Amino acid sequence: MNMNATQSVIKKLLLTEKGTALTESANQYLFKVDRNANKIAIKQAVEELFKVKVVKVNTMQRRGKLKRERSMQFGKTASWKRAIVTLENGQSIDLT
């Protein structure tokens, strides 16, 4: 997998309260990923980008939310996909 394909799969590392708790307790990290990416592509991209060994990948589709515009009309944020990546014991991703 080349670098452009890797970067198109992984959108960004999510820094949330839940993600921080998972990192500390279970060595898991949250990523916002491309909606069409499968678990195998996500695993390869994380291993290539961060030079770590991935044990397991869980994914979930997140539905976009309704947002009110200036009037009483509603718009919608885009739907997206989240991946929870479990790393091998003793490995970590530098968050700085």
Burial zone of 87 (CB within 10 Å; 0-12 exposed, 13-18 middle, 19+ buried): buried
Q: What are the residues whose beta carbons fall under 8 Å from the beta carbon of 10, sequence distance 6 or more?
A: 31, 32, 33, 34, 42, 45, 46, 49
pLDDT for 44 equals 95
pLDDT in tens, 5-64: 777 899 999 999 999 999 999 999 999 999 999 999 999 999 999 999 999 999 999 999
Q: Sign of the CA dihedral 34, 39, 44, 48?
A: positive
Q: What is the pTM of this model?
A: 0.86
pLDDT tens, 53-76? 999 999 999 999 999 888 888 899
Six token digits for residue 7: 């970067």
Hey, what domains does the chain have and what are their CATH numbers?
A: 3-87 (3.30.70.330)
